[in-house]
Amino acid sequence: MQRRSAIKNMVALGGLALLPAWVNGWNKASVLLPQQYLSSPQQETLAQLVETIIPATDTPGAKGLHVDKFVQKMVVDCYENEVKDNFAKGLSKVEEMARENFAATFSACTTAQRISLLSNMEQSDQAEQKEFFRLVKDLAIQGYMTSEYVMTTHTKYTMIPGHYYGCVSVPSK
């Protein structure tokens, strides 16, 4: 009988030890895809795009925190095939617009040129461009704010806040 309770306790203790690893925020290793969804040029465009949305200052930017991997993982895992196709087309459209307007790839453009291009997409009359930009912007912000760095450094996130006081006397009336 004691062996069963010892095994139960070991399993429970192991589960508690592993719990903080996946609850405390994501990191680069947790968002790796088994197979790549985007091509290398598209991945670089996405990395520069999220870095333009959340640039590095005295804190790391979106590219430094690998938010582009988070965005890609979210699109692959959580959205329908139609959205996935529109996402890939949107990245191609960003490159196309950069070549048309500035005769360079999106990655080779200056920060001001990138901001101008993204502002044009955000205010475009074409619904596909607006939806693409909104999706990338929303996922970039979500990825940045839930990254392990931001959760532990800036928001002082604790998995279980507060303290439990088990033996507290209750005053009687």
Per-residue pLDDT reduced to its tens digit, 48-86: 999 999 999 999 999 999 999 999 989 988 899 999 999
Tokens at 146, concatenated: 């839930």
Q: How many residues does the chain have?
A: 173
Within 16-105, strands assigned E span none
Is there a contact between 86 and 80 (Cβ–Cβ < 8 Å)? no
pLDDT value of residue 169: 82
**Is 16 a residue whose pLDDT tops 50?**
no
The pTM of the full predicted model, rounded to 2 decimals, is 0.72
Average pLDDT over residues 12-36: 54
Average pLDDT over residues 97-124: 93
pLDDT value of residue 34: 58
pLDDT value of residue 7: 60
pLDDT value of residue 23: 47
Confidence of residue 165 (pLDDT cuts 50, 70, 90): confident
**Nearest Cα to 52, choosing from 13, 39, 44, 150?**
44
Q: Which of 6-20, 96-110, 114-128, 144-158 has the lowest mean pLDDT?
A: 6-20
CA 157 from chain center: how many Å?
17
Average pLDDT over residues 89-101: 94
Confidence of residue 29 (pLDDT cuts 50, 70, 90): low
Burial of 142 (0-12, 13-18, 19+ CB in 10 A): middle
